[in-house]
Amino acid sequence: MKVLLINAPRINSIWCGVPDIFNGKDQHLFPPLGIMYLSAWLKKYSDHEVMIVDPNADLLGFAAIEKRIREFAPDLVGITAMTHNLIDVQQCAEVTKRVDPDIHVTVGGPHAISFPEQAIQLPHVDSIVIDRDAEVTFGEWVDALAGRRPRHEVAGVYYHEPDGTVVRNPARPILKDLSHLPYPDRSGVDLTQYYTPGMTGLVATTMATTRGCPQGCKFCLSTSAFSTRTPEDVVDEMEHCLGMGIQEVQFVDDIFNAPASRVIAISDEILRRGIKMAWGYKATVNATTYASLERAKEAGCTKGHFGVETGTVEGLQALGKTFVKLDHVRQVFKWCRELDLTSCAYIMIGTPVERSRDDIYRTIEFVNELDPDYVVYAITSPYPHTPLWKEGARLGLWDEDVWSDFMKNPTPELAARIPTVWTQHMSKDELLRVFKEVNRKFYFSPRKIFRTLARVSNLKEVQRIAQGGLAIAKLQLMNAAGRRI
């Protein structure tokens, strides 16, 4: 069979905390690891022909996507779906059926995993993959569609019978050890099209060494089932990337350092093999130790991204992050400065306990005290069916069913009803005004500009920095009445 895997575009995506101007190939665009894993599995364990299309990297509209489908003439189109870009997912499915109604359309990814009953009802969708660890499931499903095994025996799939009946095959168990999966198919994409802020290598990529997250923050739907790869397997993939000419890796796990001893073990393996490669990771602050940062630095780590979220005890309680202690956060960023590790703090503004600009600035003062190299500010956005979402519905801030209605029928009209910020105390206009202000004050301060330029190692970095400054300038022109917030 010919299989086309599409990373659905974000042309009509609902606002989810950060403006689109910060999410594009010039600012922040990750390779689509999910479908790259599927492609790698099919290429290694089957004779099916596979192609990846990423409209976000190639800047493809739906006419161009349709052209790619016609040119490849697939038997199966697989689409990875986020709940926030369901309009685009549905349009990809519609375009596919316009090319040829007999092309089978399968949807997977976070939306199908979290909301399978709604996902299987999407127009033009023939089946969905409900498993988080979808490689084996999707491989067996492609074989089933090729007539090589019965469809009803493939665990982890919902599908429509010809008469419209939905068959719900049970999910398969979550993988505990991810080390046996093939590496993502990086040959299937143009890695030069992707970028993570702070990357210094001219050719860089992302890696995932875990799946899931055990922390249970109230604003997140990430599964609590936590699976890992061995340090040896992680470093094997780094060596594989080096062999492809890749100079830098950003680990994009929800939590890379759970526990801190894992960071040390991976760093020790890098040092043992003598690998020379720049890398960085996303971390939970509470599990960060000086020893883990020091060993990571020795092994080539250049930066750490930390989910700080807020600078008040009340804010941490409201977000379900009582395991984080503010004094330890201060210590972690001090350690980064001592070790000359680039630090990035992720901060949410407009949380349920922030009733005014002054309340928000209590967190901003904390950020200034931390003195990070970068800050990623986001306006608190209530994701569907999270504890934060349910609390807002209980308070009467929005209709509890508004997300469910959109999932069943993803249209621009229903998307416009989705609440995208917490408006119990401050309006969208007020929150956007503060959001612009904090970004402007941080990134346009002379001290910040000088420190950023002092770290530059090549002309490509200078170009990225200039593009980042332009994005901050464009942010100042946004208005809350637009459909993007």
For β-strands 166-168 and 157-160, DSSP reports them as antiparallel
Strand runs labelled E in 216-352: 227-228, 248-251, 278-283, 301-309, 342-349
CATH for the 2-168 domain, from 3.40.50.720, 3.40.50.280, 1.10.1200.10, 3.40.47.10 = 3.40.50.280
Q: Which residues of the chain have pLDDT under 70?
A: 19-27, 197-198, 200-202, 480-485
- Nearest Cα to Cα of residue 437 among 383, 375, 381, 484: 375
Structure tokens at 104: 């089978």
- Nearest Cα to Cα of residue 315 among 306, 304, 326, 305: 326
Strand runs labelled E in 334-435: 342-349, 374-379
Strand runs labelled E in 292-434: 301-309, 342-349, 374-379
Q: Can you give the residue ranges of every domain in the chain?
A: 2-168, 196-381+420-475
Which pLDDT does position 461 carry in this prediction?
72
What's the pLDDT tens digit per position in 153-199?
A: 999 999 999 999 999 999 999 999 999 999 999 999 998 888 876 67
Which pLDDT does position 256 carry in this prediction?
95
b/e per residue, 146-184, with b = 16+ CB within 10 A? eeeeebeebebbbbeeeeeeeeebebbeebeebbebbbb
CATH topology of domain 196-381+420-475: pyruvate-formate lyase- activating enzyme (3.80.30)
Residue pair 421/431 in contact (Cβ under 8 Å)? The answer is yes
User: How would you class 365 by CB atoms within 10 Å of its CB: exposed for 0-12, middle for 13-18, buried for 19 or more?
Assistant: exposed
User: How close are the terminal C-alpha atoms of the chain, in Å?
Assistant: 41
Radius of gyration for the alpha carbons in the chain, expressed in angstroms and rounded: 22
For β-strands 166-168 and 248-251, DSSP reports them as unpaired
- Nearest Cα to Cα of residue 427 among 377, 354, 365: 354
C-alpha to C-alpha distance for 181 and 396, rounded to whole angstroms: 45
C-alpha to C-alpha distance for 408 and 116, rounded to whole angstroms: 11
C-alpha to C-alpha distance for 219 and 221, rounded to whole angstroms: 7
